[in-house]
Structure 1
């Protein structure tokens, strides 16, 4: 059907004040709850540098890739969490990937950690040594439970 001419409105257009300009409703970034003082994880660039110099705990090859303990249900790691540096061990890139994929390799982590911590206790003094001794005691408490 062909129309010749403009359509006529049945109701007139509302004429009032122009619309008020408001900013678009954008969602604000998700706020994370403030961390408690005891939630701070122990970090040490010196210790991690030393870890990188050690051979791989799994295959004995050149390490260079610090791996923080995962998958043991100790409450040290999880979504968005990394274990403290005192729970790090040297691994090569291939073994690091394998540990993340293999629960069997994850079961070796306490043994590897004890070995690395025993070396670290002889290597370091002060805060680093204290953190390593706390980590050793923590591992012992979890292994007994």
Structure 2
């Protein structure tokens, strides 16, 4: 039996709108679009905010990770699986911090809910990766 808990997370509407607008202005490569979409899908299962805001948050986290690690997007896909999973975990952690910064009241239970949501989304990503690692039809960026 699976229990699903649903919480309302109170985000600053202006911060979400700013993130959406910034995302819409960026021209993405196919690799960037694919990775942003895949990671956003795992988060959207748990955190119900507008898709563009979630993609914008994912893009900010990905960009920050790429700059910090002096990598380009294609290098993630070429990494050994252990390094790739570590990179994705780091990107999720950065996204967690960014999304918490968009909360109306960052110090209340909403921050804990976001922590749980990101951990669950990463766990779902891991399960998906393990389940599909031998399926040539599934391309994990």
TM-score tier after normalising by the smaller chain length: 0.3 to 0.5
| Larger Cα-atom Rg | 1
Q: By percentage of residues, which structure has more strand?
A: 1
Q: By percentage of residues, which structure has more helix?
A: 2
TM-score by length of 1: 0.32
